Every structure is written in structure tokens, then in C-alpha cells.
Amino acid sequence: MVTDNVNFINETVIGQTLEKAGRRDGQAVRAILSKSLELKGLGMEDIAVLASINDPDLLDALFDAAQRVKETIYGRRLVIFAPLYISNLCGNECLYCAFRAQNVSVRRRALTQAEISREVEILVKQGHKRILLVAGESYPNEGFDYVLKAIDTVYGTTVGNGEIRRVNVNIAPLSLDEFKRLKAANIGTYQLFQETYHRQTYGRVHLGGKKRDYDWRITAMDRAMQAGIDDVGIGVLFGLCDWRFELLALMQHIRHLEDTFGVGPHTISVPRLEPATGSDMATHPPKPVDDVEFRKIVAILRLAVPYTGIIMSTRETPNMRRETFALGVSQISAGSRTNPGGYAEGEDVADEAQFSLGDHRPLDEVIADVAALGYIPSFCTGCYRLGRTGQDFMDLAKPGLIKEHCDPNALSTFLEYLLDYGSGTTRTAGETMIQKALSEMSGESKRRSEAMLEKVRQGRRDVFC
């Protein structure tokens, strides 16, 4: 069932809710935080109250609650992926992005299928199993088929034991028919950020091309879900408009998807504006989000939608990434390049990149760091390949049953990484982490994990449950 309703973002209600929230006291905040520990999520009013916290003790209490919810639901796992930029051609004029059509300081390039395959080989040799395919909104002559061919190329590229097992996609909104073809191409998640939910701001920062149409973009997830893509990822580009407004609007989007399709988004992304070649707006965001506010955003989202993944990209620095792992992040990119061809040719081709990165470390270094912090890097692709998506995933996640799959799958894919791609030091740190994780497990999860790890040690690959 799809709705004709494009007005599910109600700015008046958001304004009134924020206005009321500012008048609530510390007791109200603590009551909301203890409610959040029941893992049932929070409503708009609660989120507005948490967003208004300034008192340092209450802020600590917020971070503490987020950490508890994160650990209860996600344990110590962190899913790892890499973006794959296939083209920087674009017909739009998003004032914050280096790929915007009129930016002459960026060299334009759409990778050939052979070049895409070369990029994938490099990612596979690094140990990646999940990629996020990214493109500007303009494709070479074959049009949208270019993207479908690129997905086939990614899945068809193998190197030794390795291959990409899940392709998520971040491309411009499609028609219903095109979404059906995207679904048939076997994608994992379809990801699209509204950038800003504030209609007037949206109009001010998108000056040309198809992306000017707010309604076409806000309804994209409806068409994707109607086409059968039940894992969708939403997000806001923080820095364009007041972050408190955006948080409440995100919630209205989530509720709309839940009410219409029975399930909300699979992930939420929280990109912050980063400097981009040829963009004054990217260097001077209209509504900058400082580091404390950024941590608050992650923590509030963790409490508001406890079962929805939160993605942290390499836009952020290693330190900020580390801090937000504890507050609720469940997926991270690593070793990223945002210029098409960047894995083969390096990041020095910065005049083709979309924005500056905050974390330049190679995958192996990120993995060693994550393991040293006590997290288990996971390359798992089990759920989507066993059809545990959308509602089926949530039905397992909400009663806490998904852990029985996630924990063993994280350990087996991590071991696969260590044995096939890890450097000596990373392997040592990783093996210690695996033993520690096993010692903290019990019952079926432990039995399953030990059996799967043994298979990987004996040479089996792609072991998942």
C-alpha cells in the first residue's frame, strides 16, 4: 500500500513540540531516560526534551543511557563497509557538494565497468565484504542501466577467497519501476538522505536539477518500499538547518513509514557537512552542529529508535568515531575514498572527491583500533542473504533473538578477515578479542560461534547462520 500523502512532515507540530520541551525540568529528563531503558523507543515530545538538555549532569545521564541501550541490543559488534563512488557526474546544484553541476573545479568521471571491477578487486583484497555504491545524479549514455550493470560488476568480481557479498546503494530517487529493477539486482539497503526536512531551507540549498523537487525526494522511500525494498536507510545532512528540527522531522518520517508499511528504516545516517571543493556552504555551514551536539544527536537517536542501525562515516575524525561507537553507532565505513577511481589511484586526486575525509586510516588500522577498544568488527551479510529483512528482521530484533545470529556471524567473519587479510599485529589483537568475546558468551550463541569459528579455521569461508 502506498500513500499519496507527501505532507507527513508537519513543521508546525515540530515547532510547537520544541517550544514546549524547553520548559521541562531535570526530573522530566530523568523520567524519559529511565523509560528509554525499556527499549521501546521514544516519542517526539520525549526527543524534544532530550534535545534541550544543557546541564552537564543530565548530559552524562543521557550518554550513559545511550551506552546501556547500545550494549544491550548490539553488544560489542560494529559492522564494517566501504563506499564505492562510481561516478561524479551530476545534474543538480546542491550548494554544499563538490559534485554540483556548475562546479568547474572538479574533474568529471564515470568509471567504466572494467574500472569498477578494478576498484572492487582492491576492496576485496583489503578484506571488505560490504560496499555502499554511490553516484551523482546523472548517468552516462545508458542511463539508469549503468547503475544496474555496476551492481552486477561488483557481485561478479572475485579475488581468491573473497568477494563482495552485499551491495547497498546511495543514488538519487527512482521511479517505482526503476526501484523494482534495483530490487531485482539484489541490493541490500537502499539509502537516501533527505539532507534537510525543512522545506524552505531545502529550496535555498538545492538550486537546480531534479533534486530541487522536495516532494519527489521525500516520497522516495515510499516508492522503494512499494517496490519491495524493505531495508531502507534514511539520513540528514547536519549543518543545513537546526538539528533539533531535523531530529523531530526524522521521527515523523520514520512514523510515516511504520504506519504505511509496518516497518521503519533499517538504518539512519548522520553525516555532518564537511569542506568540499568549490563550496562556500560546506566550509561555512548555515547551522553548524558542534561536537557536543553531534554526540547528543547519536545518543538521542539510539534511545528513540533502539533497533535501527546508526551509521558513522569517515567524514568524522577517528576520535569522534570512537566516542560515538559507545553512544549508539552500529555500522562504520573504513578506508574510504570519495573520488571515483580513488582506491586504485589514491586520494591525491582530490579534485574529483565529494568532500574532505576526517579519518584517513586504512582498513587494517581501523580494525586493529576497533578491536583494541573492545569491539568486534563484523563483515556479516547473513540477514539479507537469508531473507531476514524488513519486518522479518524487526520480529527477531525486538525480542532480542537476532543476537543469536549476529554474535556468531560477527566472530566468524572477523576471523575470516584476520586469517585472510589481517596484518600480524591486527591478527594478534583480533584473536585476543575473539577469545574474550567467547569467554563472555554462553548457551546456543557460544556453541554456534565455536562451531562456526572452527569451520573458518579449517579453511571454510562465508560461514553464516
Residues at the interface with ligand SAM (CB under 6 A): 96-97, 134, 136-137, 170-172, 192-193, 195, 237, 271, 273-274, 276, 282, 315, 354-355
Burial (CB count within 10 angstroms: exposed 0-12, middle 13-18, buried 19+), residue 280? exposed
| DSSP3 helix / strand / coil % (the chain, rounded to 5) | 50, 10, 40
Of 17 and 194, which CB lies nearer to ligand SF4 in the complex structure? Answer: 194
137 scored as a contact of ligand SF4 (CB under 6 A): yes
Please say whether the dihedral angle defined by the alpha carbons of residues 331, 334, 340 and 344, taken in this order, is positive or negative.
Answer: negative
If binding is defined by CB under 6 A, does position 94 make contact with ligand SF4?
yes
Residues 6+ apart with CB under 8 A from 385: 165, 166, 464
3-state SS class at 194: coil
Q: Which of ligand SF4, ligand SAM, none does 171 bind, CB closer than 5 to 8 A by kind?
A: ligand SAM
Nearer of residues 137 and 364 to ligand SAM, judged by Cβ: 137
Report the alpha-carbon distance of residue 314 to residue 81 in Å, rounded: 11
CB nearer to ligand SF4: pick between 86 and 97 = 97
- Residue 416, binding choice from ligand SF4, ligand SAM, none, Cβ under 5 to 8 Å by partner class: none
Contact flag: residue 202 with ligand SF4 (CB under 6 A):
no
Which residues touch 69 (CB under 8 Å, ≥6 apart)?
36, 37, 39, 302, 303, 306, 328
* Partner from ligand SF4, ligand SAM, none contacting 397, C-beta within 5 to 8 A by type: none
100 touches which of ligand SF4, ligand SAM, none (CB within 5 to 8 A by kind)?
A: ligand SF4
Could you tell me the smallest distance in angstroms from the CB atom of residue 139 to ligand SF4?
A: 12
- The rounded distance, in Å, linking the Cα atoms of 183 and 132 is 15
Instruction: Select from 74-82, 87-95, 338-346, 355-363 the region that touches ligand SF4 (CB under 6 A).
Output: 87-95
Q: Which is nearer to ligand SAM, 101 or 282 (CB)?
A: 282
User: Residue 246 binds which one of ligand SF4, ligand SAM, none, with CB within 5 to 8 A depending on kind?
Assistant: none
Of 74, 85, 99, 325, the residue at the interface with ligand SF4 (CB under 6 A) is: 99
Q: Does 377 bind ligand SF4 (CB under 6 A)?
A: no
* CB closer to ligand SF4 out of 90 and 247: 90
Q: Which is nearer to ligand SF4, 85 or 307 (CB)?
A: 85
Helix (H, G, I), strand (E, B) or coil at 170: strand
Q: Which does 223 bind (CB under 5 to 8 A by kind): ligand SAM, ligand SF4, none?
A: none
Please give the helix or strand (H or E) that residue 87 lies within, else none.
strand 77-87
Minimum distance between the CB of residue 184 and ligand SF4, rounded to whole angstroms?
Answer: 24
Beta carbons within 8 Å of 277's beta carbon, 6+ residues apart: 98, 103, 105, 106, 350, 351, 353
- Cβ-Cβ contacts under 8 Å for 68 (sequence gap 6 or more): 37
What does each C-alpha distance from 41 to 254, 324, 339, 435 come to in angstroms? 12, 19, 38, 33
Interface residue with ligand SF4 among 24, 76, 77, 211 (CB under 6 A) is 211
Please report how close the Cβ of residue 240 comes to ligand SF4 at its closest, in angstroms.
Answer: 12
Task: Choose from ligand SF4, ligand SAM, none: what does 273 bind? Cβ within 5-8 Å by kind.
Answer: ligand SAM
Q: Are 240 and 96 in contact (CB under 8 A)?
A: yes
What is the C-alpha to C-alpha distance for residues 375 and 367, in angstroms, rounded to an integer?
9
Cβ proximity to ligand SF4, 136 vs 265, nearer residue? 136
Q: Which residues contact 105 (CB under 8 A, 6 or more apart)?
A: 98, 277, 278, 351
340 binds, among ligand SF4, ligand SAM, none (CB under 5 to 8 A by kind): none
CB of 136 to ligand SAM, least distance (A): 5
Q: Which three cell numbers stand for residue 310?
A: 546508526
Q: Which positions lie near ligand SF4, rule CB under 6 A?
A: 90, 92, 94, 97, 99-100, 136-137, 211
